[in-house]
Structure 1
């Protein structure tokens, strides 16, 4: 199995499972993990890809993985802890500002205002350290111990005034412009693939840059088809 694409790996695991008459314990537990954790999370991220939902997705992975036996939790939990960037208080605050529950939005606002009132040394670069998580939390904003941490304001809200934040949490729209950044790295993966193709095709910085720009421009100029029927109609017209 190639691990370069996790979605492909998950699909191949499922295909292997259904074609195996007597699957091993390892194959069974991997298949169960795909069905209970990986696949549902993948679809949830596709439906809600904004960074405002990143903490929600991270918490969802934690909750979904609690079915694992104790010996496997010892393997999975350190990975969740080590990669829990969306469990950082700054990202939790972003999620709280856009929460469907108004009292959670108000709580997030109060914590951001408290950050602004705190006398942190603004001349020092803050360290983005992942805190210890409560993996048995009942909600995403309970993942960390707020009282024991030095809370810093999310960079995305720094230039927003107190009044604007107050207006923002009064009624959360479907999309908040300042939170309209993806919570996944799929675009980065596409760029890595494109840069790799450029490096294999041409030599030199300017040549690679031109190759990449022309590819992007070509993709933008191509029509986008929502259905196969639309594509077939264009072929007939031409």
Structure 2
């Protein structure tokens, strides 16, 4: 678990962090045991993980299956959740994919047959375009140069304006670096859309920078947290009302209400 956390963590996110730390040291504080882990919602892995951890600390003799789930949450899911929270830009997506694979290698072979196909079919940030974003912002100059050269080559070989097919690549789960997670000889290499506005001269300067180039691409995150929030809202609407129009009205009213309601961070802000 990271020692420093973002300031915008929700109650359930802090619960996940504190619960993982408690399980790691083998002691669950009383105040933590009394906190609400969040409502169970299968569309939100965060609250599902919180519930599993809460069940584990309150079970005297947990089953082997429960232990396996908790170990995966503590060693893979939670660390990667906070890593993505700390570095949410699309340029970090490729590195997060590689780190996820690395952290999951502790498991037995039979569990790999369950986990690896899930990673494979969701490895959107293992696509060459997204790996190139990671490469041109890498701390290692030779990796930056390799990324820039590949983008320059893709520019020269670019076809007339056509609809590009985004195909999830085949991963190499034994790769020793994120740059070798895919077979570059077999995958079609096209330029990432977010670099198309960067001219050749600026792009080439990335190679000779003494420090890692600071390119945020902050508008394009590498996570789906906003999507998950809307899934939660749609789920609540489906449980509360019936009919397409009623659900639409429920969602619109809820969003408008949230926008108008003030947000209080501390008690002193409640004073008029």
TM-score range, shorter chain: 0.7 to 0.9
Higher helix share: 1
Q: Could you tell me how far apart the structure 2 residues matched to 1:153 and 1:165 are?
A: 12
Cα shift at 1:213: 6.6
Q: Is the 8 A contact 1:3 1:9 kept in 2?
A: yes
Q: Could you tell me how far apart the structure 2 residues matched to 1:31 and 1:7 are?
A: 13
1:228 is aligned to: none
Q: Could you tell me how far apart the structure 1 residues matched to 2:181 and 2:94 are?
A: 10
Q: Could you tell me how far apart the structure 1 residues matched to 2:52 and 2:252 are?
A: 39
Q: Is the 8 A contact 1:93 1:154 kept in 2?
A: yes
How many positions carry a matched residue from both structures? 228
Q: Is the 8 A contact 1:195 1:212 kept in 2?
A: no
Q: Pick from 229, 233, 237 the counterpart of residue 268 of structure 2.
A: 233
Cα shift at 1:27: 0.9
- Aligned-residue CA RMSD (Å): 2.7
Cα shift at 1:197: 6.6
1:145 maps to 2:183? yes
Query: CA 1:60–1:215 in structure 2 vs 1: closer, same or farther (change >3 Å)?
Result: same
Note the residue ranges of structure 2 that are not aligned, 5 or more in a row: 1-39
1:50 maps to 2:89? yes
Query: Which deviates more from structure 2 when the two are superposed, residues 164-173 or residues 35-44?
Result: 164-173
2:114 is aligned to: 75
2:51 is aligned to: 12
Cα deviations by residue, 1:171-201 (Å, 9 ceiling, x for unpaired): 4455x24354211111123344456778968
Cα shift at 1:42: 0.7
What's the TM-score once normalised by structure 2's chain length? Answer: 0.74
Q: Pick from 133, 136, 142 the counterpart of residue 103 of structure 1.
A: 142
Q: Pick from 99, 107, 121 the counterpart of residue 60 of structure 1.
A: 99
Q: Secondary structure at the match of 2:188?
A: coil
Query: CA 1:15–1:156 in structure 2 vs 1: closer, same or farther (change >3 Å)?
Result: same
1:186 maps to 2:186? no
Note the residue ranges of structure 1 that are not aligned, 5 or more in a row: 226-230
Q: Could you tell me how far apart the structure 2 residues matched to 1:194 and 1:29 are?
A: 31
Q: Is the 8 A contact 2:94 2:134 kept in 1?
A: yes
Query: Which deviates more from structure 2 when the two are superposed, residues 131-140 or residues 10-19?
Result: 10-19
Q: Secondary structure at the match of 1:146?
A: coil
Task: Report runs of 4+ in structure 1 exceeding 4 Å deviation.
Answer: 192-210
Q: Could you tell me how far apart the structure 2 residues matched to 1:191 and 1:206 are?
A: 12
Q: Is the 8 A contact 2:43 2:228 kept in 1?
A: no
1:164 is aligned to: 202
1:218 is aligned to: 260
Cα shift at 1:211: 3.7
